[in-house]
């Protein structure tokens, strides 16, 4: 195993954690439960939980479903992805 592999895993883990925290904050701000979000995004509630807890990364389609379900603006999406 290479040092770069360890570093990459660490960065990915940190990013998943931050993304999950931000998604949970947005969901709660909208007054939605995990089940509400899951139903709106056409995902399993357990998948929402795993994403929010930093245990899983959403696929592109899952992420787009979550964005749509939360009715996020372009700026909110950029903030979420830390591109802005």
- Cβ-based neighbours of 69, under 8 Å, separated by 6 or more: 32, 37, 40, 41
Q: Write the CATH number of the domain with boundaries 3-80.
A: 1.10.260.40
User: pLDDT higher for 47 or 81?
Assistant: 47
The whole model's pTM is what? 0.88
pLDDT at 84 over 90: no
pLDDT at 64 over 90: yes
Residue extents of the structural domains in the chain: 3-80
pLDDT, position 1:
57
pLDDT, position 67:
97
d(CA 7, CA 69): 33
């Amino acid at each position: 195993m290479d040092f770069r592999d360890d570093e990459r895993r660490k960065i990915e883990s940190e990013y998943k954690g931050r993304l999950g925290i931000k998604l949970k904050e947005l969901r709660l701000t909208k007054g939605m439960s995990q089940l509400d979000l899951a139903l709106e995004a056409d995902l399993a509630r357990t998948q929402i939980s795993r994403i929010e807890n930093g245990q899983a990364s959403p696929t592109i389609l899952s992420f787009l479903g979550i964005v749509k379900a939360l009715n996020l603006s372009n700026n909110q999406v950029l903030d979420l992805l830390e591109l802005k």
